[in-house]
Structure 1
Amino acid sequence: MLQALFFDLDGTLTDSQLGIVNSIKYSLNKLQLPELDDATLKLFIGPPLLASYQKYCGLSAADAQQALLAYREYYTDKGILENKVYAGIPSALAQLQQNYRLYITTSKPELYAQQISDHFALSQYFTAIYGASMDETRAGKSEIIAYAQTETGLVHGQNLVMVGDRENDINGAHDHGLQSIAVTYGFGSQDELSAAVPSAFATAPTELPSIVKQLERPL
């Protein structure tokens, strides 16, 4: 029996592109690193930032840490609220909340996720929020899902659905035996999401309640 839904934050509940991209640009400028094209900047949204700085900027672990610190200078001051809730999300969450427990599971630091949820009045829909540690020792989506399962006691993957917009959301769900819904209105491409093989696709937030109902299955 389906008991709960795990939601990604960036690209699933909110369009956070402006704040994240501006924060990355600030960090690159401060560290005098080469500029990145728009397509590459967009790839930073979702996965852990330390890994993205190493992957897309060719930085060492130590230099990526410095880039992350610079990123947070801008993000905590301005970027965190350069953000908006996707149309249709509040009504979809209100419907889903009637039948399931809802949780946020994000690779964004838990502190930031809570601030965003509070500011945009999303916290009312969620039982709890689980995110990365500030030092990103807990940051990958598979790790966040495991953390959320431990904290909630929802250890049986077949009772859960992960909703997200990037391959790491879907792959994390596979790691723990969860069904998954890939949302195509976020930051992941159709090719990326299809390759990850989610249980279902949603092209708009308004589709989520009916898709979740279709995924219900007995233990």
Structure 2
Amino acid sequence: MNSKNIYLAKGLLFDLDGTLVNSLKDLACSANATRLHFGLSPLPEEKMVTFIGQGMKNLVFQALNQNEKLLEEGIQFFRTHYEKHCLDHTRPYPGVPETLAFFHEKIPMAVVTNKPYSFSKKILDHFCLSPFFLTLVGGDTCDTKKPHPEPILMALKKMDLSPSPEIILVGDSEADILGAQNAHILSCAVTYGLRKKEYLEKFSPHLLIQSFSELTQIIQPEL
């Protein structure tokens, strides 16, 4: 995990929630609205953050105390609520637009997220981030989610790239680090997102950064 070296990159992949955008408050609000729909009391954001990263179904399942009987209706309620409120408080992290602009047309980039495609695209479009990326692979784009390598490999195929140490996945969770390992590419964990540095270090990411703009200091295009 040496962030002082310069890494040559043929391609960059990014997670969305906790990496490109801070969406915790909107996700927590919709999850708590879903709990209230079933007569359950709200949970604090500190608890909700542990549910995020494995996709919408898992978030709702955990938010509803792992009650399978409530899951189908809960997912429908959450989806409807979040569709209306996913941009209430969500914002790009500092340095994200500028850093993506720095790499644009130098290194091919894509988003690989466990968040459903429609919500992901809506957020990227709203903040004018979509033009930076060649493709977007959402949590419902293929049959599996990170840490399974399939979504990562799908993105690389659409980018006309192959797995290699010159491909770097930037993310904020164990799903990103393990997904990169499973796809045989490098992982870069961000410590400003939804997981703390000490937790992320347990999964041995290749790089750790404290701010998104640090990428411009440690990554260069492979000529």
TM-score, length-scaled by structure 2: 0.86
Q: How does 1:201-212 map to 2 (within 5 A)?
A: 201-212=208-219
Q: How does 1:131-146 map to 2 (within 5 A)?
A: 131-133=138-140, 137-142=143-148, 143-146=150-153
1:35 corresponds to 2:48: no
Question: Which residue of the partner structure matches residue 22 of structure 2?
Answer: 15
Asked if the contact 2:31/2:59 (under 8 Å) is kept, the reply is no
How far apart, CA to CA, are the structure 2 residues paired with 1:197 and 1:45? 20
- Identify the structure with the greater helix proportion: 1
SS of residue in 2 equivalent to 1:144: helix
**1:19 partner amino acid:** D
TM-aligned CA distance change 1:62 to 1:137, over 3 Å:
farther
Pick from 153, 162, 176 the counterpart of residue 169 of structure 1.
176
Question: Which residue of the partner structure matches residue 130 of structure 1?
Answer: 137
1:194 corresponds to 2:178: no
User: Which one is further off, 32-41 or 173-182?
Assistant: 32-41
List per-residue Cα deviations over 1:118-174 (Å, max 9, x = no partner).
11011121111111118x844334342133233333232323100001111111001
How far apart are residue 191 of structure 1 and its match?
1.9
Question: Which residue of the partner structure matches residue 105 of structure 1?
Answer: 112
Asked if the contact 1:5/1:163 (under 8 Å) is kept, the reply is yes
**1:120 partner amino acid:** F
How far apart, CA to CA, are the structure 2 residues paired with 1:128 and 1:81? 25
TM-aligned CA distance change 1:18 to 1:211, over 3 Å:
same
How far apart are residue 92 of structure 1 and its match?
0.8
How far apart are residue 55 of structure 1 and its match?
4.4
User: Which one is further off, 78-87 or 48-57?
Assistant: 48-57
Structure 2: gaps spanning 5 or more residues? 1-7
SS of residue in 1 equivalent to 2:115: strand
Asked if the contact 1:18/1:79 (under 8 Å) is kept, the reply is no
How far apart, CA to CA, are the structure 1 residues paired with 2:222 and 2:179? 20
Structure 1: gaps spanning 5 or more residues? none
How far apart, CA to CA, are the structure 2 residues paired with 1:79 and 1:116? 8
Asked if the contact 1:108/1:139 (under 8 Å) is kept, the reply is no
How far apart, CA to CA, are the structure 1 residues paired with 2:216 and 2:122? 26
User: Which one is further off, 180-189 or 64-73?
Assistant: 64-73
How far apart, CA to CA, are the structure 1 residues paired with 2:193 and 2:61? 23
How far apart are residue 80 of structure 1 and its match?
3.8
User: Which one is further off, 47-56 or 166-175?
Assistant: 47-56
Pick from 161, 167, 183 the counterpart of residue 160 of structure 1.
167
SS of residue in 1 equivalent to 2:175: helix
Aligned length: 215
How far apart, CA to CA, are the structure 2 residues paired with 1:148 and 1:65? 29
How far apart, CA to CA, are the structure 1 residues paired with 2:73 and 2:153? 28
Question: Which residue of the partner structure matches residue 6 of structure 1?
Answer: 13
TM-aligned CA distance change 1:31 to 1:138, over 3 Å:
farther
List per-residue Cα deviations over 1:40-98 (Å, max 9, x = no partner).
11123322132244446442445323222111121101224431111111111111224
**1:22 partner amino acid:** C
Of all paired residues, the percent bearing the same amino acid is: 26
SS of residue in 1 equivalent to 2:53: coil
Q: How does 1:33-72 map to 2 (within 5 A)?
A: 33-55=40-62, 57-61=64-68, 63-72=70-79
